[in-house]
């Protein structure tokens, strides 16, 4: 099992920046991919960004590409999401998620979520 804990959420003005962190614990050696998702009120959960734990390859949703950067620290077992040029549309609860090597085709582990609010 892998446990995930997000931090770093809060309120910012449009155009501002925020950095989210997600610390993984438990069987961290089984992590295959870590990613970020978000869910705005009344909307479906959507993919934001992901990073392959071994290779470091990154993936981004079109809506955040060029503004957000995902990174990892394998020693700290932590993934980060640097969010720049934030827009009110980015307001959502952001969730950290992970895939493991046993079932790498889906995200099996989820954090509790952290609120990000971008004001205009």
Q: Which tens digits make up the pLDDT trace of 93-119?
A: 999 999 999 988 999 999 999 999 999
**DSSP secondary structure, 21-81, as one string:** EEEEEESGGGEEEEEEEEE-TTS--EEEEEEETTT--EEE-TTTBTTEEEEEETTTTEEEE
Q: Which tens digits make up the pLDDT trace of 1-59?
A: 899 999 999 999 999 999 999 999 999 999 999 999 999 999 999 999 999 999 999 99
Q: Which tens digits make up the pLDDT trace of 45-78?
A: 999 999 999 999 999 999 999 999 999 998 999 9
Question: In this predicted structure, what is the pLDDT of residue 104?
Answer: 87
């Amino acid at each position: 099992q892998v446990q995930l804990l997000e931090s770093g959420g809060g309120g910012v003005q449009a155009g501002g920046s925020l950095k989210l962190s997600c610390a993984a614990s438990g069987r961290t050696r089984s992590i295959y991919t870590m990613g970020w998702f978000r869910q705005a009120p009344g909307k479906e959960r959507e993919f934001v960004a992901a990073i392959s734990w071994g290779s470091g390859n990154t993936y981004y949703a079109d809506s955040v590409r060029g503004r957000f950067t995902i990174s990892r620290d394998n020693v700290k077992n932590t993934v980060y999401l640097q969010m720049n040029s934030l827009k009110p549309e980015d307001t959502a609860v952001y969730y950290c998620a992970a895939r493991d090597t046993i079932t790498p085709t889906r995200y099996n582990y989820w954090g509790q979520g952290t609120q990000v609010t971008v004001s205009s």
